[in-house]
């Protein structure tokens, strides 16, 4: 394939899927600016390996795997551990019907460890099976199940309503 045609194919793919990749990246990292950086790095890696990516059966799956691996690698890097972010108000892309619930969910999701967050995003946002998630994360199905179970337990605990003392009956 000629370089021009290859570049045009890559540009068309990234233009059509960048919104979706950005949403997945945001759910992984919880910050729109960082999500943009993750998508940019993912797109760069896709471009460098476009000849390989163009031959895969499921290009979205390949791109998602690159994105997740980029996120997880960043979490392990010394740079990420050295820079500490202060708590800020979450960026809101759109107004939701129940904004408080949405913000609570984003906050709870952001509090999960990176691998647990990745399993929840891949399983429930990207709607992948356990085996597909294991493939995307380069781990075993058992690992996905245990990470997902721990994450859901933490999310249930964090998001469960706490009864007010005034509402308690004797």
pLDDT in tens, 21-70: 999 999 999 889 999 999 999 999 999 999 888 889 999 999 999 999 99
Question: Would you place residue 166 in the very low, low, confident or very high pLDDT band (cuts 50, 70, 90)?
Answer: very low
pTM over 0.85: no
Whether pLDDT at 89 is above 80: no
Q: Which two tokens stand for residue 65?
A: 């795997």
State the Cα–Cα distance between residues 11 and 4, nearest whole angstrom. 10
Per residue in 98-157, pLDDT (tens digit) is: 666 777 888 888 899 999 999 999 999 899 999 999 999 999 999 999 999 999 999 999
Q: How many CB atoms lie within 10 A of CB 90?
A: 15
State the Cα–Cα distance between residues 142 and 115, nearest whole angstrom. 13
Q: Which two tokens stand for residue 31?
A: 């910050």
């Amino acid at each position: 394939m000629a370089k021009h045609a290859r570049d045009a194919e890559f540009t068309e793919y990234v233009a059509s899927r960048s919104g979706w990749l950005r949403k997945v990246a945001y759910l992984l990292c919880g910050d729109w600016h960082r999500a943009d950086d993750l998508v940019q790095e993912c797109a760069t890696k896709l471009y460098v390996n476009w000849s390989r990516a163009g031959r895969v059966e499921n290009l979205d799956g390949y791109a998602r795997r690159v994105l997740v691996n980029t996120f997880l690698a960043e979490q392990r890097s010394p740079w990420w551990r050295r820079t500490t972010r202060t708590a800020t108000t979450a960026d809101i892309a759109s107004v939701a019907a129940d904004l408080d619930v949405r913000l609570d969910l984003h906050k709870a999701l952001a509090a999960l460890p990176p691998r647990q967050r990745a399993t929840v995003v891949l399983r429930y946002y990207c709607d992948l099976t356990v085996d597909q998630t294991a493939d995307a994360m380069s781990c075993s199905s058992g690992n996905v199940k245990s990470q997902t179970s721990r994450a859901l337990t933490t999310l249930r605990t964090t998001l469960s309503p706490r009864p007010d003392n005034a509402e308690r009956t004797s």
